[in-house]
């Protein structure tokens, strides 16, 4: 069934979850095709794109919180990161929202706004909610896979990833300048949740001597040796840590977990590291999708290294949200525009309930009901074996 048969004229679009580069490019890419089609469509068949502000939260409000989207007004936005539609981490299918009948409310708001079709830009949580809502109410849905983590199944690359890597590399290189000037070791933490793609690419491209990933079996004694080796040869060092890396894990050998506990205890029992102890004792927060709020593993690594390698200065730096802001780099501009263009093509072909995925250099439709996260760095990946520059000096 085609767009014309479904009488799709008013298309809603929202961005959910964390912001990243490429959101605006998808919006512009889709709006370009709508404008192009409207040049030849009869007046009663012309389409419009309506922005829903603050993600799924827009559909929990009676007003819908919308903004009209005009291409000439927003055409340059594809060059910037973030989202012109604003975002939120709102889970329509959380226990509380199910009890509040949020999915039913969302469909009522869509009907009130005369939205014929919804395009949802986000990661696996946001896209999964779109698939579930579309199936439950037989409503035309589309998605686009974003995340700086690059961990969504069904696509070789998500938009947001390349820009976060570029910004991380700049951050690492700036730290290198000071590390070299003062004979220091910098521990640099980068975002990426439980998939280490950002740390992997940025660590290698930034020349980090040690790169620590969530996917590896971490052995801090080995890390200490690599750092000491680097210091002896270069008098400075960069250690890149993915925020999802862990000191303890059930898949680690018992001896490693025990050794890491000894190292951690030596730090948190030292008054010098009172802030590390305070972090360690803080309760872990979770978002509405049940995802634990990460960040701070680099601080543990920094403290353990400083305490166990003598006569050398250390600094800890957390890239934080800076690496997903600023400009959208070339790959994310192009990928976002391609995804927006592809969504329009799927509409015209009557392929509903899908999101575009990159397969080689082709864009293919993927089922929203099958989307999931957890695309991790495999241990047999070429880059996994290249991640520690200290191994080659």
3-class secondary structure for 359-384? ECCEEEEEEHHHCCCCCCCCCCCHHH
The tokens for 141 are 């849905």
Contacts of 124 (CB under 8 A, 6+ apart): 147, 151, 152, 153, 371, 372, 373
As given in the structure block, the two tokens for residue 164 are 């976060």
184: enclosing H helix or E strand: strand 184-190
User: Residue 309: exposed, middle, or buried by beta-carbon count in 10 A (0-12, 13-18, 19+)?
Assistant: middle
DSSP code for 295: -
CA 339/CA 266 separation, integer angstroms: 50
Q: Any bridge partners for residue 241, and if so which?
A: 189, 212
How many Å apart are CA 161 and CA 147, to the nearest integer? 6
Enzyme catalytic residues:
149
Degrees, nearest 5: CA angle 141-146-149: 145
Q: By three-state DSSP, how is residue 51 classified?
A: strand
Tokens standing for 267?
A: 């730090």
Whole-angstrom distance, CA of residue 131 vs CA of residue 379: 31
CA 69 vs. chain centroid, Å, equals 25
């Amino acid at each position: 069934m085609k767009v014309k048969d479904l009488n799709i004229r008013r298309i809603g679009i929202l961005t959910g979850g964390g912001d990243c580069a490429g959101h605006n490019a998808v919006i512009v890419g889709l709006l370009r095709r709508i404008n192009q089609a409207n040049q030849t469509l009869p007046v009663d068949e012309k389409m419009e794109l309506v922005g829903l502000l603050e993600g799924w939260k827009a559909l929990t409000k009676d007003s819908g919180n919308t903004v009209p989207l005009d291409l000439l007004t927003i055409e340059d936005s594809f060059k910037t990161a973030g989202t012109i539609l604003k975002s939120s981490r709102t889970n329509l299918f959380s226990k509380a929202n199910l009890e509040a009948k949020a999915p039913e409310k969302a469909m009522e708001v869509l009907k009130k706004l005369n939205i014929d079709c919804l395009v949802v830009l986000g990661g696996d949580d946001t896209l999964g909610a779109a698939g579930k809502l579309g199936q439950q109410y037989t409503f035309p849905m589309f998605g686009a896979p974003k995340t700086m983590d690059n961990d969504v199944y069904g696509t070789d690359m998500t938009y947001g990833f390349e820009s976060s890597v570029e910004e991380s590399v700049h951050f690492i290189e700036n730290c290198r300048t000071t590390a070299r000037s003062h004979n220091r070791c910098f521990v640099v933490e980068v975002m990426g949740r439980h998939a280490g793609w950002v740390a992997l690419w940025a660590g290698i491209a930034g020349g980090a001597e040690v790169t620590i990933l969530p996917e590896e079996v971490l052995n801090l004694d080995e890390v200490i040796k690599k750092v000491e080796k680097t210091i002896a040869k270069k008098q400075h060092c960069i250690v890149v840590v993915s925020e999802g890396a862990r000191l303890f894990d059930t898949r680690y050998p018992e001896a490693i977990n025990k050794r890491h506990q000894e190292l951690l205890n030596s730090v948190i029992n030292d008054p010098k590291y009172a802030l590390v102890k305070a972090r360690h004792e803080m309760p872990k927060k979770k978002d509405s999708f049940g995802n634990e709020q990460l960040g701070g593993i680099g601080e543990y690594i920094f403290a353990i290294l400083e305490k166990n390698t003598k006569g050398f200065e250390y600094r800890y730096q957390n890239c934080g949200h800076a690496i997903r802001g600023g400009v959208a780099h070339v790959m994310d501009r192009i990928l976002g525009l391609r995804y927006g263009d592809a969504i329009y093509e799927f509409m015209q072909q009557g392929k509903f309930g899908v999101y575009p995925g990159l397969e080689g250099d082709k864009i293919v439709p993927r089922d929203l009901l099958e989307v999931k996260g957890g695309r991790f760095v495999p241990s047999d990946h070429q880059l996994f074996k290249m991640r520690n520059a200290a191994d080659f000096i």
